[in-house]
Structure 1
């Protein structure tokens, strides 16, 4: 029996039901045709499964920006294979990843989950990732198709972008991945493009994606993105998520009966879902796409390897790094991010690893360390935990206890399912309760985060009793970046007090739905939290140390899914901490724990700056490896870093009357910086290791194929004293300046490794598309001769070859 015959065995209502979520994560099973339930889950750096809870841990890899910083599609493929292994372990068939939208502006709040400002780097890394996941028999959904490059009004924004810009930049990563990796799924974005919402965009979904590129997989909506039954079905969407209530299902069946959607359109949608089911092995009678799985991968080891490979050493004055452990008798480790590492970004990227090695933990294992907080980057209170004994209590409508359990800190996250022993239908409110003993006498600050009816009581004093409603009209932002309420209370040291924070969450009046989303936090800080006192203690420790390592970074409130950034400045007093420690100790290393660019006004005043992105569960182990030279910092910047927020050429993320114009055209990222009068802090492609490289020769061999322009062969030599790895980058440039085109753009890259004094050869394939422009409705060869420039970054080119006459310049 073939798939077409299988479709004919289904009645209309069953077909329509198959195209709508059965619940938050799954499509319904149809046992009569041997179809199992297709289960989807968020990635992109770990597989959440259908529950987001520490009781169901996941491997947590470094952020996608970190993976892109490795400039290694084969490493991305290994990452994909590990994630497929994790998906199978959790019963997941479809991974909702990778995210291949571009870093149009550094203010994009979700850029940690994307790869790069460059479409070629994004596409090649994304293709490696997709290959790896699908090597393991698990589907990918390349997202968010298309132009979902910022978070402000993301549900409703209409992106206005000309066809050339859309083709050369924003569609390009999707095209590379579709043509090279053959993904089994694509996710349609929330936003509109040129007046049409993406879940209904027939010209882009049916026209370009399917007909032009040959995509043969299924298209799923972003969660709650589907607005209209008929327009979505006719516009190319196959599956509307989540369920159980969507514009598909019964509404789609009725649209067919009413003659608004042709029956053969629904049949084609169903067939694509059955193709997916066959590929991932949940359709009886059809062989899955993968019958022999890759060798098992150790997740802990790969997480540590990717982290170290992704770290970008921005500068290293006087060769302070790598540290000599025999000469570092005392190392001061400073910063809130050193103790409480931010290993991943907020929103869809969140998973819970079984163990996290913080920077402080990793360095303590390797060096004689003394720690001081110095500066806390958090703008919200930390969850109550120290000197507290807490429990959670689920209560029914009468306030009676349904279930209870211990809590390590004042935070509850029930995402996906309630804890074991909790009957969801009985729960109306959730409480964090216990005792707290102040360390110091004086003003204690308590606060809570949680939407709904709330009551906060400490030591018999009711601090809040009322309704806490969301601000704004974006429900996802209200959850990911919620308001915090704070209250001060004088308490004496050493005397325990009862604490209770009880919340009846919004929408819980009739009990928990099948999909659970309950999030509440009870926060606290005491008199010891004075910022000036913390910095003074940190400076004193740093002054007495051989080396000071400061870890600074962003927070969930400054960089996350759900909202765009308003500034690239580090939150809290972190800049002041760095300035004062650097003045006290010339051997100061700053470790930047951020998913995308931040301002570093102190960069020239410190000995070394190491960028670690959101480094995943092995953060501290990888940091120790790199600082001590056990591993080389192998990363190169996948996006350009400004000195100041206002210097960035593209900053606009705020729609006007619902419209966001991409008026800059093809000039984003380094393409825009190259024609700016302002220099960035660090250029695209920049990064140094622990050795030095000489670029000795380049040859270019033209190709006669339709897709390949030619091959560059580059010889480099390691003239340092250590083995190292180099990312050889090739840029194509018009021989004569053209104001309509960038000064140069990435055309290919390759990684090589060599020992001291050794040579290595990088072979770089240059796609023909690099020398084409979109004009008059098609791809055309760009006018005029071109040069191929090879080197270490977009601003550091070492050799040039003229593609017209083959001459080479050093």
Structure 2
């Protein structure tokens, strides 16, 4: 990156001041040169603009009213990048209207465990889905003049001990699970800023992690923007600047002085400070250049929030209970969330909504010809009333203090009083529908006896009306789960290693999180990743996969075979059944959402790039596509695969560095030294080795044993072979290259 043209005119003190926040939400400018600072604000699903003297990180102080959209965990279940781009655009308009230049979001951390208190702010357990949706939000924001701040980079997957803990993660796991969403967003959207996290990564604070902030983020991925700290996340300011952390937030009374002292002592290179200050100036320029006037239409944005909540809700189960009939017997609605909805989580993302719908009022409006009785409590009085009703709708969910920034959950169960009521209602004869409002996966022990379950997530300010739209049949549910719903906390991937001891947390499950874990281990789940029903049915057919090099295109047909118009979300998974290294059963690598009228069919196409087939090779230190067979699967969920086709890719040639102790199998696979070694071994007295090499199927066990023996020890195993000839091959292969 070239330096900003004004850098040469700045004093060291001005540069140091630029690299430190001016206040809780504001960046410094350079008054001497007429450069005004800019303002930033939370948050990922709605603007939290605080004015006057009120400013806080915990979401307790008041803020200006703004549209509260569904949280990221819900939006992810829409599988709808176009919708998220529109939400990003709406957020940009609201930010511009109150003088904000950068919105602090989206959050794209992976859901390593359903216990993370901040899961409602994150999209998914799947990095491909999170990256595609995150890029859509960023493009929506930045195409409309507001910078994004993609967070929290990286491996910030818990709230307990988040400021002190070191996430111990091997590189393959980082590359395949915890970094790809950020990489996708950088490559597809070039966010103006990336926010580094609080935690340490393999012992080093991410705010001081040069490999992360410079070598990977900038040099590999080509990031051109600014890196900002999470609020109060800076440990060593000089080390941070040297590593690639440009801006410390919020204001720090001695921040500039610490930078100048490090410059004076030689602990900080002036070139690093110049680069950081240049990036701050560039961000300020971008914000001022695109910050035109904006007028917010709160009604239009509220309708967008309602649409988003509808498209995000997931119909998990339906045994004919939904949609509700327009006429009929009285309906009993139970639970406080019917009138006081759970619509967002707690912490820095908390929004003061412009208005707030509730489901009970909206349902009465949607069904004017049906009597709807309401009981707010989960108690025996309610149970007695509900026992006599033909139709009961229980609004369940997690209380607000269960899902928050700053701490993690300890259980994934719904509150006991809700579960007790639902158990009492098990033995009734009428229909039971359960509407769940929560920001992350919970156990659903009533799944086998409820007639319908609608998971509404934290649906934002219009979530109540959206629920009524879906229950009444005005719209069909179309969302699909962006995270797996386990049956038991003990089955979850990080159960024995979460949240660590406060100093370290070992990501011992590696790449196997979410559906990758459950399906590879054969563990039962209540509802799988990608699952979601509609009020119609869809048929998949005619899969055709064409291959070009190490890329492919999957084409298939979906038909609406029911009587109601709805959207279907088709998912494409890739399986690598014969990998050298352990890989999941399959991985999501494409999806598409399409609207179909009754009887309508459509031919769909999904491109699969090279990375769709690759894994991070720990020896090669790069992405690697194996030569051989892959299975392209098309499904309605990760567990409901409708179509599959096997293809063959040429893959990458992998040349391993050979040593005398390399196994015989590695030597035999080498294109240069394998053929002469095979010839030597085939001449072995007795012919056993030659027989195994020529016909491994005669004794596959012994063949594998032969392959595993270090070549320089082969002659000492009792197998007769020409040791001298083998040594000549070893010498030729390991000789130093000529200078």
TM-score by length of 2: 0.83
Q: CA offset at residue 331 of structure 1? A: 1.4
More strand by share: 1
2:529 counterpart of 1:655: no
Alignment CA distance shift 1:40-1:295 (3 Å): closer
Q: CA offset at residue 739 of structure 1? A: 6.4
- Aligned mate of 2:315, from 309, 313, 316: 313
Q: CA offset at residue 7 of structure 1? A: 1.2
Alignment CA distance shift 1:640-1:632 (3 Å): same
- Aligned mate of 1:259, from 266, 271, 289: 266
Alignment CA distance shift 1:626-1:738 (3 Å): farther
Residue 467 (structure 2) aligns with: 623
Alignment CA distance shift 1:171-1:805 (3 Å): closer
Q: CA offset at residue 292 of structure 1? A: 11
Q: CA offset at residue 774 of structure 1? A: 1.1
Residue 762 (structure 1) aligns with: 604
Query: Which shifted more, 35-44 or 688-697?
Result: 35-44
Contact 2:96–2:292 under 8 Å retained in 1: no
Mapped to 1, the partners of 2:621 and 2:252 lie a distance apart of 41
SS in 2 for 1:151: coil
Alignment CA distance shift 1:703-1:292 (3 Å): farther
Q: CA offset at residue 135 of structure 1? A: 1.1
SS in 1 for 2:486: coil
Equivalent residues in 2 for 1:434-473, closer than 5 Å: none
Consecutive aligned runs of 4 or more in structure 1 exceeding 3 Å deviation: 51-55, 290-297, 735-739
2:324 counterpart of 1:323: yes
Q: Deviations over 1:651-696 (max 9, x none)?
A: 2322236111111111111001012242100000000101001111
- Aligned mate of 1:120, from 113, 125, 128: 128
- Aligned mate of 1:134, from 119, 127, 142: 142
Residue 733 (structure 2) aligns with: none
Contact 1:42–1:95 under 8 Å retained in 2: yes
Alignment CA distance shift 1:25-1:232 (3 Å): same
SS in 2 for 1:360: helix
Alignment CA distance shift 1:55-1:786 (3 Å): closer
Residue 352 (structure 1) aligns with: 352
Residue 41 (structure 1) aligns with: 41
Residue 54 (structure 2) aligns with: none
Mapped to 2, the partners of 1:374 and 1:631 lie a distance apart of 29
Residue 377 (structure 2) aligns with: 374
- Aligned mate of 2:446, from 592, 602, 619: 602
Mapped to 2, the partners of 1:659 and 1:805 lie a distance apart of 40
Query: Which has the bigger relative contact order, CA under 8 A and spacing at least 6?
Result: 1
SS in 1 for 2:644: strand
Q: Deviations over 1:536-564 (max 9, x none)?
A: 22123223333211111112332211111
Q: Deviations over 1:724-780 (max 9, x none)?
A: 110010000014476611110001000111111110122212231121111121111
Contact 1:24–1:244 under 8 Å retained in 2: no
Structure ID, larger Rg:
2
Q: CA offset at residue 323 of structure 1? A: 0.8
Residue 796 (structure 1) aligns with: 640
Residue 81 (structure 2) aligns with: 73
Q: CA offset at residue 804 of structure 1? A: 2.2
- Aligned mate of 1:102, from 101, 105, 110: 110
- Aligned mate of 2:437, from 585, 590, 593: 593
SS in 2 for 1:787: strand
Residue 669 (structure 1) aligns with: 514
Alignment CA distance shift 1:629-1:145 (3 Å): same
Alignment CA distance shift 1:20-1:340 (3 Å): same
Contact 1:698–1:800 under 8 Å retained in 2: yes
Q: What RMSD, in angstroms, separates the aligned Cα atoms of the two structures?
A: 2.0
- Aligned mate of 1:680, from 522, 525, 540: 525
2:560 counterpart of 1:718: yes
Residue 710 (structure 2) aligns with: none
Q: Deviations over 1:117-154 (max 9, x none)?
A: 00000000000010001111111111100000111100
Mapped to 2, the partners of 1:805 and 1:147 lie a distance apart of 32
- Aligned mate of 1:689, from 501, 525, 534: 534
Mapped to 2, the partners of 1:770 and 1:255 lie a distance apart of 45
Mapped to 2, the partners of 1:560 and 1:622 lie a distance apart of 24
Mapped to 1, the partners of 2:10 and 2:184 lie a distance apart of 36
Query: Which shifted more, 771-780 or 632-641?
Result: 771-780
Query: Which shifted more, 26-35 or 560-569?
Result: 26-35
Residue 623 (structure 2) aligns with: 779
Q: Deviations over 1:75-114 (max 9, x none)?
A: 1111100111111122111111010000111111111110
Mapped to 1, the partners of 2:649 and 2:219 lie a distance apart of 38
Mapped to 1, the partners of 2:365 and 2:634 lie a distance apart of 41
Mapped to 1, the partners of 2:294 and 2:461 lie a distance apart of 25
Contact 2:97–2:295 under 8 Å retained in 1: no
SS in 2 for 1:561: coil
Mapped to 1, the partners of 2:580 and 2:363 lie a distance apart of 51
2:164 counterpart of 1:156: yes
Equivalent residues in 2 for 1:201-280, closer than 5 Å: 201-245=209-253, 248-280=255-287
5+ residue gaps, structure 2: 52-58, 651-739
Q: Deviations over 1:426-445 (max 9, x none)?
A: xxxxxxxxxxxxxxxxxxxx
Equivalent residues in 2 for 1:348-427, closer than 5 Å: 348-367=348-367, 368-375=371-378
2:40 counterpart of 1:195: no
Contact 2:335–2:396 under 8 Å retained in 1: yes
Q: CA offset at residue 324 of structure 1? A: 0.9
Alignment CA distance shift 1:340-1:292 (3 Å): closer
Alignment CA distance shift 1:78-1:797 (3 Å): same
Mapped to 2, the partners of 1:628 and 1:68 lie a distance apart of 24
Contact 1:71–1:636 under 8 Å retained in 2: yes
Mapped to 1, the partners of 2:609 and 2:424 lie a distance apart of 49
Q: CA offset at residue 581 of structure 1? A: 2.7
TM-score by length of 1: 0.76
Contact 1:713–1:764 under 8 Å retained in 2: yes
Q: CA offset at residue 797 of structure 1? A: 0.4
SS in 1 for 2:556: strand
Mapped to 1, the partners of 2:355 and 2:211 lie a distance apart of 46
Q: Deviations over 1:19-69 (max 9, x none)?
A: 111111111232333322211111111010124666721100001011100
Residue 541 (structure 1) aligns with: 385
Q: CA offset at residue 295 of structure 1? A: 11
Equivalent residues in 2 for 1:294-305, closer than 5 Å: 298-305=300-307
SS in 2 for 1:691: coil
Alignment CA distance shift 1:657-1:592 (3 Å): closer
SS in 1 for 2:248: coil
Q: CA offset at residue 305 of structure 1? A: 0.1
Residue 688 (structure 2) aligns with: none
Residue 643 (structure 1) aligns with: 487
Mapped to 2, the partners of 1:657 and 1:622 lie a distance apart of 41
5+ residue gaps, structure 1: 282-286, 376-534
